[in-house]
Amino acid sequence: MGREEKMQALVQYSRKLEPLPERFKDLDRAAFTVPECQTRVDIIPELRDGKMYFHADLNVRQSPTIAAVLAIVFGAVNGQAPETTLAIPGDFVRTLMESIGLGAREVGLNAIIGRLKRHALEARRTGDLR
């Protein structure tokens, strides 16, 4: 698959990112913002019946790459035990970004994956998200 096809696939995946549920619209986002990202991204974790659910708020049109990666990752980890999130390989972002030629986004995406893992660790440790 050529670079153009890869970029088109990313745009298609970005459209799969679910909008932030209404119940989180009035939440103070300060604790959920990923400051390492060039574009504002808020990652909001939720633990229900021992299963992790992640939600994101970002401008999908401004950051289709970030939205696509989140859609892919959320598709794999949402509705799963925290261990599924913790099992994301350490080189996941680098491998993905190298395969599509977008290394510039690696710092922010690694920060997002790190944030997901911190939330999963907290959920596993306490059975709650504070």
**pLDDT tens-digit readout, 25-44:** 899 988 899 988 888 999 99
Q: Would you state the pLDDT for residue 41?
A: 94
**pLDDT tens-digit readout, 67-111:** 998 999 999 999 999 999 999 999 888 888 777 766 666 788 888
> Does the pLDDT at position 130 exceed 70?
no
Q: Would you state the pLDDT for residue 102?
A: 66
By the 8 A CB rule, do 42 and 29 touch? Answer: yes
Indicate whether this model's pTM tops 0.75: yes
Q: Amino acid identity, residue 65?
A: T
Mean pLDDT of 3-23: 85
Q: Would you state the pLDDT for residue 97?
A: 79
Instruction: Return mean pLDDT, the chain.
Output: 88
What domains sit in the chain, N to C, each tagged with a CATH number? 3-18+34-126 (3.90.1010.10)
**What percentage of the chain exceeds 90 in pLDDT?**
50
Mean pLDDT of 54-72: 91
Q: Would you state the pLDDT for residue 100?
A: 72
Q: What is the pLDDT confidence band of residue 129, given thresholds at 50, 70 and 90? A: low
> Does the pLDDT at position 54 exceed 70?
yes
8-state DSSP, 59? -
By the 8 A CB rule, do 52 and 84 touch? Answer: yes
